[in-house]
Amino acid sequence: MNQITLNDGNTIPQLGFGTFRLEAAEAEAAVNEALEAGYRHIDTASIYGNEREVGRAIASSGIPRDELFVTTKLWDDKHTQAHQALEESLDKLGLDHVDLYLIHWPNPPANTFLTAWEGLIELREEKLTRSIGVSNFLPEHLSRIIDATSVAPAVDQVELHPQFQPTDVLDYAAEHSIAIEAWGPLGQGKYPLFDAAPVTAAARAHEVTPAQVVLRWHLQRNRIIFPKSRKPSRIRENFDVFGFELTEQELAAIDAMNKGEEGRVSSHPNKRVSH
C-alpha cells in the first residue's frame, strides 16, 4: 500500500475506505468487508452516525491498532467544544486516539472555524489525535487559520473527481505542503463519469473497470482517496488498483474532463447551510 507522508511527518495509507451514508449494521458489515479485503484506512465522521459500528468492525477485526489509520471529523455545532466532541467520538469508536481529526466544514457564517482549529491544535498536543486537518476549506479559510496560528493543516479533504478539480484549492495546498484528500472520488455516482471517453478508453487499454481507472488517476495525481461502496465485490474492486499504471496521456485526458464549478456534485463551502 502506498503511504503519503504528511507535513507533520506522519504517514497515511493513500487508499482507504469511506463510510458516508453507511448506517448501523450496514456500516459494520461494509467496514468488516473492507478490512478483510486489505484496507487499513477508514474515514468516518461524527455526523455520519456510524462511529460505533466502525469501532465494532475495527475491534472484531483483531488488526493491531498501529496498523490502522482512522479519521473522524468535528461537526459544525461543536466548533467551540472540540475536546468534548473528540472524546465522544473516541468513546463511540472504542479507541484512545484517532490518527486524523478534521474540521468537517468551515461553516463561515458561524465564524467559529478558527476557534475550532485552535482546539484541534490542543487535541494533537494531548495526543488524542496524531494529525489534524480540515475539510471543505477554501484558500481564504486556510490562510485565516495559518496566519492566526502558524500551523498548517496536514490535509484538506475536498470534493474532487474528474469533473470537479478545484484548482484554487489544489494550488494553495501544494504551496503550503497540505495533502489533498479527494472526497467523492467517483463523483458519488451522480454523473455519467464511467461512460466518459477518456475513462472508457483507459479501461479498455488496461483491462480494468472505469471505476478503477478513476481511482488510479487520483493515486497517480498524489491524492488520498477513500471510495465508498456497500457491495463486497466493489469494495474489493476499488482496492485492486495497484496492478496497472495510466500513461501521462491518459492522465492528461482525464485532467481535461474538469468542468469547474458546474461539475460540483455537492454544496459550495461558502453557500452551504449547516443542518
48 flagged as catalytic? yes
Beta strand pairing call for 3-5 and 11-13: antiparallel
Query: In whole angstroms, how close is the CB of 160 to ligand NAD at the nearest point?
Result: 10
The C-alpha angle with vertex 263 and arms to 184 and 230, in degrees rounded to 5, equals 25
Residue 61 found at the interface with ligand NAD (CB under 6 A)? no
124: closest CA among 101, 146, 147? 101
Q: Does 19 help bind ligand NAD (rule: CB under 6 A)?
A: yes
- Which residue type is seen at 7? N
Q: Which is nearer to ligand NAD, 25 or 126 (CB)?
A: 25
Q: Which of residues 127-166 bind ligand NAD (CB under 6 A)?
A: 135-136, 157
Among 106, 119, 187, 263, binds ligand NAD (CB under 6 A): 187
Q: Is 20 in the site for ligand NAD (CB under 6 A)?
A: yes
Task: Confirm if 69 and 40 have CB atoms less than 8 A apart.
Answer: yes
Residue among 4, 13, 14, 18 that touches ligand NAD (CB under 6 A) = 18
Residue 80, CA distances (Å) to 84, 111, 115, 135, 156 in order: 9, 10, 6, 17, 20
Identified binder of ligand NAD from the candidate list 28, 33, 43, 156, rule CB under 6 A? 43
Query: Shortest approach of ligand NAD to residue 264 CB, angstroms?
Result: 12
Q: How far is the CB of 179 from ligand NAD (least distance, A)?
A: 14
Residue 89 makes contact with ligand NAD by CB under 6 A: no
Pick the piece of the chain touching ligand NAD (CB under 6 A) from 16-24, 32-40, 122-130, 142-150: 16-24
SS3 19: coil
State how far the alpha carbon of 41 is from the alpha carbons of 26, 59, 71, 237, in Å.
18, 14, 8, 16
Question: Could you list the active site residues?
Answer: 48
